[in-house]
Amino acid sequence: MGTQVAPKQNTAVKRKPARLSPPPMYQVVLLNDDYTPMDFVVVVVQHVFGKSLEEASRIMLRVHHEGRGVVGVYTRDIAATRVDSVMQLARINQHPLQCIMEPVPPAD
């Protein structure tokens, strides 16, 4: 008595390609204070964010005149790491420089 095996049917399953949305983006913002030297802010922007001297100076002036300035836009983890780096440098150098991250506002 032999075992009978039913023939397999070849069935192709069509899958829709998964649509992945891009990750949410966050902007890293420096906040103005009356005590942190402008030169220190420029050095921090160059060191942490890899900006040129001219661009770092423009960002520093925006922070100085407008009270805040966006330094860059990143995914959440990278933005958090950059904020932490700025805060550590400020603390080590005993400056009250503040840096925050916030979701990028939706485009109108």
What is the reported pLDDT for 14? 77
Q: Which residues contact 100 (CB under 8 A, 6 or more apart)?
A: 28, 29, 31, 83
First to last CA, the chain: 75
Domains and CATH numbers, the chain: 34-103 (3.30.1390.10)
Percent of the chain topping pLDDT 90: 76
Q: What is the pLDDT of residues 19-55, one digit of tens each?
A: 888 999 999 999 999 999 999 999 999 999 999 999 9
